[in-house]
Structure 1
Amino acid sequence: MAESDGIPREPGAPHADPLGDPFLRTRFALPARPATFLRRARLVHHLDQALVTPLTMVNGAAGAGKTLLVADWAAGLERPVVWLTLDPSLRGPGMFWAHLLQALRTHGVPVAGDVGTPADAGRVHHTLLTRLAAQLGTDELTVVLDEYDRVGTPEVAEQLEFVLHHAGPGLHLVLVTRTEPLLPLHRYRAAGAITEIRNAELAFTPEEAVALLRRHGLRLSVQAATALVERTGGWAAGLRLCALAAQQHPDPEEYLKEFEAGHSTVADFLLAEVLKRQPPATQDLLLRVSVLDRFCADLANELTGRGDAEAILAGLHRENAFVEDLGHGWYRLHPLFREILRAHLRERSADLEPRLHLRAAHWLGRSGQLPETLTHGAAAGEWDFTAGALVDDLALGQLFTGLRTDHLADLFSGMDPEAASPAAELVRVARDLARGDLDHALAGLGPVRERLAAEGPGTAAVRLGCALLEALAARLTGSPQRAEEAVRAARALQHELPAELLDKHPELSALLLTHLGSVRLWAGDFDEARTALTTVAGTTTGAATALPRAESLELLALIDHLAGRPATAERKAAAALAETERFGLADGAGSGLGRVVLAAAAVERDDLAEARALLDRTPGPAVHDPVTAAGRSLTTARLLLARGRTRAALEAAEPAVPAAVRSPWQHLHTTLVASAAHLAEGRPDLATKVLDQVGGEQPGLAVAAARARLAAGDPGGALRLLDPGGPVRGGGPAVLVRATLLRAQAAHTAGDTATARRLVVQAVAEARRERLRRPFREAGPWVEPYLAAVPPHHPPADAEPPPVLVEPLSGREHDVLLRLAQMMSTEDIAADLYVSVNTVKTHLKSVYRKLAVNRRNDAVRRARELDLL
Structure 2
Amino acid sequence: MARPLIATKLFIPKVRRHVVTRPRLLDRLRRGTESRLTLVSAPAGFGKTTLLSAWLGGMEEDHRRIAWVSLDAADRDPASFWAYVVSALQTAVPGAGPSALELIASSDVSTESVLTMVLNDLAMAPTDVWLVLDDYHLVDGHGVANGMVFLLDHLPSHVHVMISTRADPELPLSRWRARGELVELRAAELRFTSEEATAYLNDVSGLDLSAVDVEALEQRTEGWAAALQLAALSLQGRQDVAGFIAGFAGNDRYIVDYLIEEVLEHQPEPVRSFLLLTSVLDRFSGPLCDAVTGRGDGTEMLTSLERANLFIVPLDDRREWYRYHHLFADVLRARLLNEQPGLVPLLHQRASAWYEHKDLMEEAVRHALEAQDFNRAAQLVELAVPIIRRNRQETILFGWLKALPADAVRNSPVLSVFYGFMLMVSGDLHGVEPRFEDAERALAAVPSGAAQPWAVTEELRTLPATIAVYRASLAQARGDAAGTSEHARHALALAGPGDHLARGAAAGFLGLAAWANGELSSALETFTQAVASLHASGNLIDALSSTVVLADMWLVAGRPGTARRLYQDALQLAEAQGESVARATAELHVGLGDIDREAGDLAAATRHLTSAGEFFERAPMTESRYRWFVARALIARAEGSPDQATDLLDQAEQIYRPGFFPEVQPIEAMRARIWIVQGKTSEAAEWAQTRGVSVSDEVSYLSEFDHLTLVRLLLAQNREHPDRGAFGQADRLLGRLLASAETSGRAGSMVEIRMLQALSQAFQGHRAQARGMLSMAFAEAPEPAGYAGLFIAEGAPMMELLRDAADHGIAEDHPQRLLDLTAPPKAQVPVPGYRLTSSAEEKLSGRELQVLRLLDSELSGPEIAQALFISPNTLRTHTKHIFTKLAVTTRQAAVRQGRDRGLT
TM-score (norm 2): 0.55
SS of match in other structure, 2:612: helix
SS of match in other structure, 1:49: helix
SS of match in other structure, 1:703: helix
SS of match in other structure, 2:600: helix
Counterpart residue identity of residue 554, structure 1? V
More deviation, 48-57/435-444: 48-57
CA contact (8 A) 1:595 1:615 kept: yes
| Residue 626 of structure 1, CA deviation | 5.3
Q: Provide the residue aligned with 2:733 in structure 1.
A: 690
| Residue 322 of structure 1, CA deviation | 6.3
Counterpart residue identity of residue 47, structure 1? L
Distance 1:312 1:202, change over 3 A: farther
Residue among 520, 530, 536 paired with 1:492 = 536
Using the alignment, how far apart are the partners of 1:711 and 1:331 within structure 2? 72
Using the alignment, how far apart are the partners of 2:443 and 2:191 within structure 1? 52
Q: Provide the residue aligned with 1:328 in structure 2.
A: 319
| Residue 457 of structure 1, CA deviation | 8.1
| Residue 309 of structure 1, CA deviation | 4.0
Q: Provide the residue aligned with 1:163 in structure 2.
A: 179
Q: Provide the residue aligned with 2:458 in structure 1.
A: 459
Using the alignment, how far apart are the partners of 1:209 and 1:721 within structure 2? 68
Distance 1:312 1:746, change over 3 A: closer
Using the alignment, how far apart are the partners of 2:621 and 2:117 within structure 1? 59
Q: Provide the residue aligned with 2:143 in structure 1.
A: none
Counterpart residue identity of residue 535, structure 2? R
SS of match in other structure, 1:630: coil
SS of match in other structure, 2:185: strand
Q: Provide the residue aligned with 2:509 in structure 1.
A: 481
Matched, 1:576 2:584: no
Counterpart residue identity of residue 821, structure 2? E
Distance 1:312 1:175, change over 3 A: closer
Q: Provide the residue aligned with 1:301 in structure 2.
A: 290
Using the alignment, how far apart are the partners of 1:600 and 1:209 within structure 2? 42
**1:4-83 equivalent positions in 2, closer than 5 A:** 41-43=19-21, 45-50=23-28, 61-65=42-46, 67-69=48-50, 71-73=52-54, 75-76=56-57, 77=59, 78=63
Q: Provide the residue aligned with 2:667 in structure 1.
A: 632
Q: Provide the residue aligned with 1:834 in structure 2.
A: none
Residue among 385, 388, 401 paired with 1:391 = 385
Distance 1:422 1:80, change over 3 A: farther
Using the alignment, how far apart are the partners of 2:231 and 2:710 within structure 1? 73
Distance 1:62 1:398, change over 3 A: farther
More deviation, 381-390/320-329: 320-329
Q: Provide the residue aligned with 2:756 in structure 1.
A: 704
Using the alignment, how far apart are the partners of 2:775 and 2:257 within structure 1? 91
| Residue 360 of structure 1, CA deviation | 1.1
| Residue 580 of structure 1, CA deviation | 0.8
Using the alignment, how far apart are the partners of 2:336 and 2:783 within structure 1? 73
| Residue 436 of structure 1, CA deviation | 3.0
CA contact (8 A) 1:47 1:73 kept: no
| Residue 770 of structure 1, CA deviation | 2.8
Matched, 1:621 2:655: yes
> Percent same amino acid among aligned pairs?
21
Residue among 353, 356, 361 paired with 2:352 = 361
| Residue 228 of structure 1, CA deviation | 11
Matched, 1:591 2:625: yes
Distance 1:807 1:144, change over 3 A: farther
CA contact (8 A) 2:401 2:415 kept: no
**1:536-615 equivalent positions in 2, closer than 5 A:** 536-538=570-572, 539-540=574-575, 544-558=580-594, 565=598, 567-568=600-601, 571-572=604-605, 575-581=608-614, 584=617, 591-600=625-634, 608-615=642-649
Using the alignment, how far apart are the partners of 2:655 and 2:368 within structure 1? 31
| Residue 72 of structure 1, CA deviation | 2.5
CA contact (8 A) 1:471 1:512 kept: no
| Residue 325 of structure 1, CA deviation | 6.7
| Residue 688 of structure 1, CA deviation | 1.9
| Residue 352 of structure 1, CA deviation | 2.8
**1:734-753 equivalent positions in 2, closer than 5 A:** none
Please list the CA deviations of residues 437-460 of structure 1 after superposition, one character each: whole Å capped at 9, or x if unmatched. 344356646876998999998337
Using the alignment, how far apart are the partners of 1:616 and 1:72 within structure 2? 56
More deviation, 452-461/698-707: 452-461
Using the alignment, how far apart are the partners of 1:200 and 1:370 within structure 2? 36
CA contact (8 A) 2:559 2:782 kept: no
Distance 1:204 1:677, change over 3 A: closer
| Residue 63 of structure 1, CA deviation | 1.0
SS of match in other structure, 1:176: strand
Structure 2: gaps spanning 5 or more residues: 1-7, 72-111, 126-151, 234-246, 485-507, 512-526, 831-836, 848-880, 887-904
Q: Provide the residue aligned with 2:371 in structure 1.
A: 380
Distance 1:346 1:809, change over 3 A: same
Distance 1:207 1:705, change over 3 A: closer
Using the alignment, how far apart are the partners of 1:274 and 1:513 within structure 2? 56
| Residue 687 of structure 1, CA deviation | 1.6
| Residue 143 of structure 1, CA deviation | 6.4
CA contact (8 A) 1:688 1:708 kept: yes
| Residue 690 of structure 1, CA deviation | 0.7
Residue among 343, 346, 365 paired with 2:337 = 346
Q: Provide the residue aligned with 2:407 in structure 1.
A: 418
Using the alignment, how far apart are the partners of 1:206 and 1:638 within structure 2? 50
Using the alignment, how far apart are the partners of 2:548 and 2:714 within structure 1? 37
CA contact (8 A) 1:600 1:611 kept: yes
Using the alignment, how far apart are the partners of 1:741 and 1:268 within structure 2? 74
| Residue 363 of structure 1, CA deviation | 1.4
Using the alignment, how far apart are the partners of 2:55 and 2:656 within structure 1? 55
**1:838-857 equivalent positions in 2, closer than 5 A:** none
Residue among 164, 173, 185 paired with 1:176 = 185
SS of match in other structure, 2:407: coil
Matched, 1:287 2:276: yes
Matched, 1:733 2:788: yes
Using the alignment, how far apart are the partners of 2:788 and 2:249 within structure 1? 68
Task: Answer 1 or 2: higher relative contact order, Cα 8 Å, separation at least 6.
Answer: 2
Using the alignment, how far apart are the partners of 1:547 and 1:612 within structure 2? 25
Distance 1:596 1:75, change over 3 A: closer
Distance 1:475 1:144, change over 3 A: farther
Matched, 1:806 2:843: yes
| Residue 632 of structure 1, CA deviation | 2.3
Using the alignment, how far apart are the partners of 2:31 and 2:253 within structure 1? 45
SS of match in other structure, 1:413: helix
Distance 1:686 1:546, change over 3 A: same
**1:827-866 equivalent positions in 2, closer than 5 A:** none
Using the alignment, how far apart are the partners of 1:633 and 1:688 within structure 2? 23
| Residue 175 of structure 1, CA deviation | 0.5
CA contact (8 A) 1:744 1:757 kept: no
CA contact (8 A) 2:633 2:646 kept: yes
| Residue 202 of structure 1, CA deviation | 12
Distance 1:808 1:294, change over 3 A: same
Structure 1: gaps spanning 5 or more residues: 1-29, 86-97, 112-131, 165-170, 181-195, 213-219, 245-257, 495-501, 749-753, 774-791, 794-799, 811-845, 852-869
Aligned length: 653
Distance 1:356 1:711, change over 3 A: same
| Residue 337 of structure 1, CA deviation | 5.0
| Residue 705 of structure 1, CA deviation | 2.9
Using the alignment, how far apart are the partners of 1:804 and 1:259 within structure 2? 46
More deviation, 602-611/677-686: 602-611
TM-score (norm 1): 0.57
| Residue 647 of structure 1, CA deviation | 6.4
Distance 1:705 1:585, change over 3 A: same
Q: Provide the residue aligned with 2:706 in structure 1.
A: 670
Using the alignment, how far apart are the partners of 1:260 and 1:710 within structure 2? 69
Distance 1:767 1:392, change over 3 A: closer
Q: What is the RMSD of the two structures over their aligned residues, measured on CA atoms?
A: 6.4
Using the alignment, how far apart are the partners of 1:305 and 1:686 within structure 2? 82
SS of match in other structure, 1:174: strand
Counterpart residue identity of residue 191, structure 2? R
